[in-house]
């Protein structure tokens, strides 16, 4: 079965949904600004979390906190749904996989309401977050990142229309390129280049939803051309920018 991806969001725009059916290609390691909650509906999926590769089967739920690096491995068949809740004051949960019927029911209720564009999703969202808090372990408080890494991360997300020069980034951070690359990946789960690509995709999505033409959004976000944006978008989102925009507006 070919992969089909459907996107939606609730009437407030604070909660978005993704439904993926069929085979999926592997996605690169990436993070989200939103809290990601997902449920496997059929078949099996493999997901890479900070503690390693996890096998998920029908009925399994998963939680990926904001800023947590993760990726999907390729799978030949299956179906899963995702609810993304814009970043807020969430507890410091760990990324986790679990199986719980009560959580699954709360997830399904919020997903249905958000996918159909309902605006009154607040109570359903609170119910799902309460069930998540019951199941997800808390992460230990993280030590602040060293200043060189904070400088590098800030620069990786700025001036997106320009190319990223790792040597220049290393000079600003006061580290060698090799040392910066290794420490950055250890601290954030991604490389500076991967973080920059994410920032470009986020900017492109915002521009496209605001009505900017895809080619213009690609140029503004630092992509070489519309084809470059299409390839990166499809690799991470599983669909084209045009199809994603139509789903979200609908």
pLDDT digits (tens, 9 = 90+) for 18-46: 999 999 889 999 999 999 999 999 999 99
CATH for the 147-249 domain, from 1.10.10.60, 2.40.30.10, 3.40.50.300, 3.10.129.10: 1.10.10.60
Interacting residues of 178 by C-beta distance below 8 A, sequence separation 6+ = none
pLDDT value for 2:
65
- Dump strand ranges (E) for the chain: 4-9, 15-21, 35-49, 52-57, 61-64, 71-72, 78-85, 96-98
**What's the rounded Cα separation, in Å, for the pair 14 and 31?**
18
Low-confidence ranges of the chain (pLDDT < 70): 1-2, 87
pTM: 0.90
pLDDT value for 227:
96
**What's the rounded Cα separation, in Å, for the pair 88 and 162?**
30
Q: For 66-108, what is each residue's pLDDT tens digit?
A: 999 999 999 988 999 999 999 678 999 999 999 999 999 999 9
What angle is formed at CA 17 by the lines to CA 11 and CA 20, rounded to 5 degrees? 150
pLDDT value for 249:
78
pLDDT value for 204:
96
Q: Could you tell me where in the chain the CATH 1.10.10.60 domains are found?
A: 147-249
| Architecture (CATH level 2) of domain 4-135 | Sandwich (2.60)
Continuous segment of H or E residues that includes residue 151: helix 147-156
């Amino acid at each position: 079965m070919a992969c089909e991806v459907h996107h939606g969001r609730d009437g407030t725009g604070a909660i978005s949904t993704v439904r993926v059916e069929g085979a999926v290609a592997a996605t690169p390691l990436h993070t989200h600004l939103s809290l990601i909650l997902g449920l496997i509906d059929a078949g099996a999926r493999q997901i890479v979390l900070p503690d390693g590769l996890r096998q998920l089967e029908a009925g399994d739920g998963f939680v990926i906190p904001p800023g947590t690096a993760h990726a999907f491995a390729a799978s030949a068949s299956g179906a899963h749904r995702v609810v993304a809740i814009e970043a807020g004051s969430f507890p410091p949960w760990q990324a986790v996989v679990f199986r719980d019927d009560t959580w699954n029911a709360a997830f399904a209720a919020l997903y249905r309401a958000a996918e159909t564009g309902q605006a009154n999703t607040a109570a359903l969202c609170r119910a799902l977050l309460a069930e998540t808090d019951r199941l997800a372990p808390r992460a230990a408080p993280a030590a602040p990142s060293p200043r060189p890494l904070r400088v590098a991360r800030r620069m990786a997300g700025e001036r997106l229309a320009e190319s990223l020069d790792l040597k220049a980034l290393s000079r600003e951070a006061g580290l060698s390129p090799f040392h910066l690359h290794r420490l950055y990946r250890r601290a954030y789960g991604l490389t500076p280049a991967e973080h920059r690509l994410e920032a470009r995709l986020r900017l492109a999505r915002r521009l496209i939803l605001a009505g900017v033409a895809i080619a213009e959004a690609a140029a503004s976000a630092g992509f070489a051309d519309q084809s470059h944006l299409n390839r990166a978008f499809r690799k991470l989102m599983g669909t084209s920018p045009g199809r994603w925009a139509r789903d979200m507006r609908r």
